[in-house]
Structure 1
Amino acid sequence: MAGSAEAMETAEIESAARWDAIWEGAAASLEREGNALLPSLLTPDQCARLAALYTQDERFRSRIVMARHNFGRGEYKYFSYPLPLFIARLRHALYRRLAPIANRWNRQLGVDVQYPADLTTFLARCHAAGQTRPTPLMLRYGAGDYNCLHQDLYGEHVFPLQVAILLSAPGVDFTGGEFVMTGTRSSGQYADVVPLMQGDAVVFAVNERPAVAGRARKVAMRHGVSVVRSGTRHTLGMIFHDAREPSAST
């Protein structure tokens, strides 16, 4: 973000997010459903300033037109390093909250990987393995656009949780375009639609989570976006592992 938008401070992020209240029930929801709503994570003004970045091509390393790759319809752009300051700070702040949950999940799944407390150290691990391309991205959908169910896996190192923040106002900027998650467990498949308002975020499992009950040890997860009926929908996607190769995303 340029000018005053670039100068949004970490204190503003944490004030807008009301961290303690927002995260109080998030861990329990993640354990139960594989996703958690973070209401009013960003203000409408912050959302507008972030969405305005989409036309600033110098901010991004690549643009993906989804129909060309059978990912759905619509498009998205991956940010370049250095990330816009506000996005970088938000990414670090979210990671700090999610790392303890990710570590608990891996212990439950018997995965011999633990994540450091800070994002800088984790990204150093990614970069040493050749995963050097930044993965935070901005998505734009118009009428008739959608995102097929998928998982965001970019290399050997995968952080098991990610975040999507809705920057547009449902019913005002667009209609349709619901965030959808599906899971597969011993009893069969299920789907979950997460209702989001402008500024809300959803935290969700990248590819799997521990099972709460039943015979299955884990639940396989995918996510996508239903068809946008009208208008334009912008989303900020926050993935915490970097990528080895350019590929599909949230």
Structure 2
Amino acid sequence: MSLDDAIARLDWPRIEAQLNEEGCAILPGVLDDDVIAELLLLPAVMPVSIADLRRRCYERLVPVANHWNALRDVSERFPDTLDELTAHRHGVAGDQAHSAFTRLGAGDDEALHQFAGSPDAFPLQLVALLSEPGKDFTGGEFVLTEQRPRMQSRPMVLPLRRGDLAVIAVAQRPHKGAKGYYRVNLKHAISRVRSGERIGLELLFDDITPGV
């Protein structure tokens, strides 16, 4: 199945509803064995298929991003295509600048972090898992934490499998409270890998979101 077909068959209304409710949603089985093998063979060179993946997912997610900005009182509105967004920022930008591999061995983890740059940046990003839990590694769960005002942080574990993507909030999402919408803060992490090697990928849509 092509990446286009894999993306088209997803239940996008459900994904949008989950993003609005939780700030995250799993896109199961989008990356097949051939795409994963291509990624792992030359990790320093982002395949054309991943560039296409970013473009296709952006087109599906831009309505959510614009809706979130309206609810968060952010004036920025994003164009319909990723190429238009890139041109709006500063012209042509390489896909490599928007991606980062994570290779974690036994005893490694990734601390809580977020890509909290400009408030005008695209508020969603993709993460992917390229290894199989229980076979290639143990531990290494993908964890999101959400901090609402005057409340304890709320952790969420995303049960990713090999080839799955997840859409997550880059830093903030709108949440409806008793007095209207307010912003909640999200960070993500990878718990300690107990054995084996966990390989993942983070993909950003916007190049004004420097890591923090």
Question: Does TM, scored on the shorter chain, surpass 0.5?
Answer: yes
Deviation sequence 1:188-233 (CA, Å, 0-9, x none):
3211011001111110000100013345611111111111111111
Please state whether the residue corresponding to 1:188 is helix, strand or coil.
coil
Q: Could you list the structure 1 runs, at least 4 aligned residues long, displaced by more than 3 angstroms after superposition.
A: 130-133, 153-157
Which residue does 1:68 correspond to in 2? none
In the alignment, does 2:105 pair up with 1:142?
yes
The answer as to whether partners of 1:42 and 1:199 remain within 8 angstroms in 2 is: yes
Question: TM-score, normalising length from structure 2?
Answer: 0.89
**CA offsets, 1:71-126, max 9 Å, x none?**
xxxxxxxxxxxx42111111101111111100000011111010000001111222
Task: Give percent identity, aligned residues only.
Answer: 38
Q: Secondary structure at the match of 1:93?
A: helix
Work out whether 1:85 is the aligned partner of 2:48.
yes
Per the normalisation by structure 1, the TM-score is 0.76
The 8 Å contact of residues 131 and 155 in structure 1, kept in 2 or not, is answered as no
Counterpart selection for 2:20 from 31, 52, 62? 31
Aligned letter for 1:29? Q
Question: Paired residue for 2:157?
Answer: 193
Matched, 1:225 2:186: no
Aligned to 2:133: 170
1 or 2 for the larger relative contact order (CA 8 Å, sep ≥6)? 2
Deviations, residues 131-172 of structure 1 (Å, cap 9, x unaligned): 998222222111111111111135575110000011111111
Q: What are the ranges of 5 or more consecutive residues in structure 1 without an aligned counterpart?
A: 1-10, 60-82
Q: What residue in structure 1 maps to residue 88 of structure 2?
A: 125
Instruction: Tell me, yes or no, if the aligned pair for 1:127 and 1:242 is still in contact at 8 Å.
Output: no
SS class of match (2:64): helix
8 A Cα contact 2:38 2:47, kept in partner? no
Is 1:239 aligned to residue 197 of structure 2? no
Q: Report the CA distance between 1:49 and its aligned residue.
A: 2.5
Instruction: Supply the distance in 1 between the matched residues of 2:183 and 2:118 (Cα, whole angstroms).
Output: 21
Q: Matches of residues 198-213 of structure 1 in structure 2 within 5 Å?
A: 198-213=162-177
Is the CA contact 2:136–2:197 (under 8 Å) kept in the aligned structure 1?
Answer: yes
For the aligned residue pairs, the C-alpha RMSD in angstroms reads 2.4
Given that 1:134 and 1:243 are in contact with CA atoms closer than 8 Å, whether structure 2 keeps it comes out as no
Unaligned runs of 5+ in 2: none
For residues 84 and 126 of structure 1, the distance between their equivalents in structure 2, rounded to whole angstroms, comes to: 23
Equivalent of 2:10 in 5, 21, 27:
21
SS at match of 1:36: strand
Pick closer, same or farther for the CA change 1:229–1:94 going to 2, 3 Å: same
Q: Kindly provide the amino acid, as one letter, of the partner of residue 205 in structure 1.
A: A
Matched to 1:52, the amino acid is: L
Decide whether the 8 Å contact of 1:148 with 1:224 is kept in 2.
yes
The structural deviation recorded for 1:243 is: 4.9
> Displacement, 1:26?
0.6
- Report if the CA contact (8 A) 2:35-2:49 is conserved: no
> Which residue identity lines up with residue 163 of structure 1 in the other structure?
L
Q: CA deviation at 1:234?
A: 1.1
Number of equivalent positions:
209
Of 168-177 and 184-193, more deviation after overlay is shown by 184-193
